[in-house]
Structure 1
């Protein structure tokens, strides 16, 4: 659920303040609708939330006439960054650009590299060797052949939850596919953006990417 909070990274008001409309979909896995709804994302990373996002985005456009569905960008971090990679391969016509912060690229590799082992084993139904199919079912790395949307990739080099290799792999896939892409690495940040100066740079980079693809032609 989205509360009345503030951070150095995701603040919807900053996008609205920059002149963009903001749509946030409270998809499967969120809190606030009962424990069953929260647990429903386990072993369903790529299907239920993606369906929610597609339906929510369509409903928002139908309800709010000022939204321009043909001129939109999708952004996400952590699991949201995973979803950006998943969107790149499974909803490739949905957006003009993408922004991925500390996102999962290879769910199978995550099972061996993250410091949060309990998390991957819960989300993918066991260990990588005991249930490899659970790790590969919704693995963004298996759909890179469908990627075509420009993407900004941001990575904290002290992130041990979603290690740097995941961000580098995402960027390598984009570059090898010939897709317009940019990589920003913060050597002194972990899974978050915690330093004010880095937050300023983060916002400059993100808004620069949005403006590049979404700003009206002059």
Structure 2
């Protein structure tokens, strides 16, 4: 059972003795590293207690004669995005950080100690697992996209070609981004995937995918579970919206879903569906939706609030938040998302409970739930 998110960085001697807590915040501190020259200690840090999707900051503390000196400083101050991972330059004069940004993973260079930042790798897809060459400029990393499974790249060019032969036999239309005005008047973005052999004169049914988390995001990636191309290969248009609560659009946008599971995201999804349904090549009478975890929750919520879809698929979804509070292994999660325990804030649990709207269900639904999902237990 996990009843908090408080993770601290500890320091100890080479022999393992004399351990002591270096960080003392209430949030999650992780991924500590010494700079190659030993003059800096760096780590990633979330500030708020009990929240797994807080902005992840890059923190640095100076070191001299093997001791930490001065107060820690945030190298990403003023930024609204999170650092997913990072690595030091060999000369300790910069850090390369992976940043989730609008459905893509870009790599930024952060100079030390000025903390000036600049884009090092962008251009689409996910760019992760960065390693830095001895010159401090050659970057080797994994690159993937909706049309490309992960391959090893260096400075914008592929080094490995493991999947080339398999891909050559496939028709893989590129992922297309689209946007609209969603809840709270905010800009909301999503993705469209067309099927192989796409014909603009035809009218295609739609699969509307809803991500979990709920603080997660649909990305320009080669999904091993929810693969846009695989869904589209059956002759569907695939649409996926990054609603309020999604990551990569600033922390305020991510925070918006907490205590609002059923209103802002639902409004975004319905407005995004309006855009898709108006496309000239879409058959708006044949719409289906599928989601897992929070996405499964939203499938249940949709079933109680609209009859727009012909079919729904819920995978390991949250059906009753009160039951989830009593059975999940991540005890702090439900308390954060619903503003307290069911004993302290029962009205909000009931307000956003799909269970309370089952009497409105009319759409055929496939429900899949795993016995070993300890986060969203079968009960």
TM-score normalised by structure 2 residue count: 0.42
State the Cα distance separating 1:150 from its structure 2 match. 0.6
**Residues 218 and 241 of structure 2 are in contact (CA less than 8 Å); yes or no, is this contact kept in structure 1?**
no
Change (3 A) 1:6 1:118: farther
Which structure has the larger Rg over C-alpha atoms? 2
By how many angstroms is 1:40 displaced? 0.1
**66, 89, 95: which is aligned to 2:304?**
89
CA distance in 1 between partners of 2:218 and 2:311 (Å)? 23
Q: 2-side partners of 1:58 and 1:4: how far apart?
A: 22
Query: Are the structure 2 counterparts of residues 130 and 50 from structure 1 closer, same or farther at C-alpha, using a change threshold of 3 Å?
Result: same
1:131 and 2:345 aligned:
yes
Partner of 2:260: 44
Structure 2 equivalent of residue 161 of structure 1: 375
The CA RMSD over aligned residues, in Å, is 1.1
CA distance in 2, matches of 1:67, 1:26: 20
Maintained 8 Å contact 2:261/2:352: yes
SS in 1 for 2:291: strand
Query: Pick from 228, 238, 243: which aligns with 1:22?
Result: 238
Query: Structure 1: any 5+ residue segments left out of the alignment?
Result: 166-218
Query: 1-side partners of 2:304 and 2:316: how far apart?
Result: 18
Number of residue pairs the alignment of both structures matches:
163
> Aligned to 1:143, which of 346, 357, 362?
357
Structure 2 partner of 1:61:
277
Higher strand share: 2
In structure 1, what is the equivalent of residue 294 of structure 2?
79
Distance 1:155 1:7 in 2: 20
How much has 1:134 moved relative to structure 2?
A: 1.7
Q: How does 1:93-132 map to 2 (within 5 A)?
A: 93-132=307-346
In structure 2, C-alpha distance between the alignment counterparts of 1:142 and 1:6, rounded to whole Å: 37
Deviation at 1:8, TM superposition (A): 4.0
Match of 1:5 among 214, 221, 230: 221
Q: What's the TM-score once normalised by structure 1's chain length?
A: 0.72
Q: 2: CA distance between counterparts of 1:149 and 1:61? A: 18
Counterparts of 1:51 and 1:44, CA distance in 2: 11
Runs of 4+ deviating beyond 6 Å: none
Per-residue CA distance 1:182-204 (angstroms, 9 max, x = gap): xxxxxxxxxxxxxxxxxxxxxxx
Q: Gaps (5+ residues) in structure 2? A: 1-216
Relative contact order: is structure 1 or structure 2 higher (C-alpha 8 Å, sep ≥ 6)? 1
Higher share of residues assigned helix: 1
Deviation, structure 1 residue 6: 3.8
Q: Deviations over 1:123-168 (max 9, x none)?
A: 0000111111121111000000000111111111111111112xxx
Q: Would the aligned equivalents of 2:291 and 2:314 in 1 still touch at CA under 8 Å?
A: yes
Q: Compute the displacement of 1:4 (Å).
A: 3.4
Report the alpha carbon displacement of residue 43 of structure 1 after superposing the two structures with TM.
Answer: 0.4
